[in-house]
Amino acid sequence: MFRKKGKLLAAGAMALGLSFSAAAGAQEFINVLTGGTSGVYYPLGVALSEIYGDTIEGARTQVQATKASVENLNLLQQGRGEIAFALGDSVKLAWEGETEAGFPGKLDKLRGIAAIYPNYIQIVASEESGIKTLEDLKGKSLSVGAPASGTELNTRAIFEAAGMSYDDLGKIEYLPFAESVELIKNRQLDATLQSAGLGVASIRDLASSVAITVVAVPPEVVEKIGAPYISATIPAGTYEGQDEDVQTAAVGNMLVTHADVSEETAYQMTKQLFENLDRLTAAHAAAKAIKLETALDGMPVPLHPGAERYYKEQGLL
């Protein structure tokens, strides 16, 4: 009987040891949802995945190029990503379940990680198109952003506030940034609206190839849209051939996760974001605007408990 008990105890101990060993070796999978490869989300997402892979024990990371905000938020709701970049207005509409914006209903699993840098609405036309103002877009061809993207939602908002509609355009294209630029270079498109951080690679590429005009979005138009849009300036010299400051609209970007991500993982994703800002800035200059003190500004969804724990430690909550 003693031998039997001894065997049972030994077997139990072995099983317990195996389970601890499995737990210790368990990997945390973090899929970072970004945007098109020529935008700002993608290089920042690559940097973020490398940071998480280096600093979160057991983390296995992946970067996924997507159509950006709307697709990212829908993927999070489905549990097909752990952290995503998205525009603040898209996050707000997703939480409200705005079906016209591309959401099937209220995305109730979304949870906030951090408000990061602002996206600038950048309307860029070839100089030869003659487009200098929003009004000049009438009868011209414009790429309004990829379908189901935050950029396209921004375009709609700008047009509505300016008293215009897509019907005013001569031709409309729903294309990602890089494809839009290629069409302008080939004289098949007059202008593109790109919602991105300043110095986005696609517009830099365009400006180095053809003469461009950066079209202003006047403050009175931005005021009509209201929050979370604010008036902002694209400083002179941001792009080759842009000699003057240009007024436009900006809207904040968010890092978002979902409720099924563990508290510890969300805590580490938040902590390592702010402890490695130098690596993000090296990946893209837009990250210079990411600051701990503005991390909660305008967050339209509840914070993940893991993020909340980090902000409490930092004295923000």
pTM of the shown model = 0.79
> What are residue 234's DSSP bridge partners?
246
What is the pLDDT, as a whole number, of residue 9? 40
Side chain identity at 233, as an amino acid letter? T
Please indicate whether the domains covering 29-117+253-313 and 119-251 agree at the CATH topology level. yes
pLDDT tens, per residue, the chain with 317 residues? 434 444 444 444 434 443 333 333 357 899 999 998 988 999 999 999 999 999 999 999 999 999 999 999 999 999 999 999 999 999 999 999 999 899 999 999 999 999 999 999 999 999 999 999 999 999 999 999 988 788 999 999 999 999 999 999 999 999 999 999 999 999 999 999 999 989 999 999 999 999 999 999 999 999 999 878 889 999 999 999 999 999 999 999 999 999 999 999 999 999 999 999 999 999 999 999 999 999 998 899 999 999 999 999 999 99
Do 122 and 194 touch, CB atoms closer than 8 A? Answer: yes
By CB neighbour count within 10 A (0-12 exposed, 13-18 middle, 19+ buried), where does 39 fall?
buried
**Which is the CATH superfamily of the domain at 29-117+253-313?**
Periplasmic binding protein-like II (3.40.190.10)
Is the backbone peptide bond immediately before 235 cis, with ω within 30 degrees of 0? no
What is residue 15's predicted lDDT score, i.e. its pLDDT? 41
Query: What is the model's pLDDT at position 155?
Result: 96
pLDDT of 234 reads: 97
**Which pLDDT value is given to residue 22?**
34
pLDDT of residue 30: 98
Superfamily for 119-251? Periplasmic binding protein-like II (3.40.190.10)
What residue segments make up the domains of the chain, in order of their start?
29-117+253-313, 119-251
**Which residues share a beta bridge with 161?**
none
